[in-house]
Each structure stands twice: as structure tokens, then as C-alpha cells.
Amino acid sequence: MRGSAYSAYTQNSINVESPIKLVEMLFEGILKFTAQAKKSMLEDDIEKQVYWINRTIDIFSELISSLDYSGEQKNLAEYLNGLYTYQIKLLTEANLECDTERLDTVLKVAKGLLEAWREETTEMHADA
């Protein structure tokens, strides 16, 4: 399975200097934008709340569009597609219901994804 997380994203990232760094930056963006959305929600700033949630949804959409369903990473890509789609659902519900608990769930998942990504890519570099 080593390298399959990386492979699941390589289809659409040929022109990027470092696809590994790009995915890491996207996960970091999810954390940053979701935290901003939560802050805006707590401050009753609906305009900023919607802005930050939409930015986060855009990142998840980009991650979905970058998945590669070919070969042995197909199952991982399908799993990640479902996970990301569910995060978009949570973000949409959080936005409609001003629910910070759903944002906390997205933050928890994104932190786990970032940690797993960093671990996977560190192992890949160690094996190279």
C-alpha cells in the first residue's frame, strides 16, 4: 500500500513542481479555512463564515478531482472520494445550521489526513 496515497493523487498533478507538497498545502488550507469559518461563526459574521466554508469546500473538491482511480489505488481513491464528499456535506450542514460541532469534525478529519499524508510521504522518501 506504500505509495498508493501518493499515486491516488498523481493523475492531475503532472505540471506541479511538487505534488507531494501541494497535497500537504491543501490539507493545511482545509485546517486554516475551517478554523476561520468557525471563528466567523462564533462571531456571527455570516458573510465571512460562508466565504471560509466555501473556500474549504473548494479544496475538498480539488482533492476529489485529483484522485486517480486506475490500478491498485482504485480502492483508496474511492474511499477518499467518499470521505471528502462527506466532509463537504458536513461543511454545508454546518453552514446552514451554524453548527461548530460539524466544523470540529472536519478539523479532526483534516488533522488526521495531514498526519497520515506526512507519514506516508516520509516513508516514501526513506525508501527512495
Would the pLDDT of 5 be above 60? no
Domains of the chain by start residue, with CATH? 4-127 (1.20.120.340)
- Alpha carbon 118 to its chain centroid, in Å, reads 13
Q: Which residue reads 467518499 in cell numbers? A: 82
Give whole-number Cα distances, 11 to 22, 34, 119, 128, in Å.
Answer: 13, 27, 21, 21
Q: Helix/strand/coil (H, E, C) string of 2-16?
A: CCHHHHCCHHHCCCC
Distance CA 5, CA 40 (A): 33
Q: What angle (nearest 5°) sits at the alpha carbon of residue 84, between those of residues 87 and 27?
A: 90
Residue 48 in 3-state DSSP? helix
Band of pLDDT at residue 128, cut at 50, 70 and 90: low
pLDDT digits (tens, 9 = 90+) for 45-83: 999 999 999 999 999 999 999 999 998 889 999 999 999
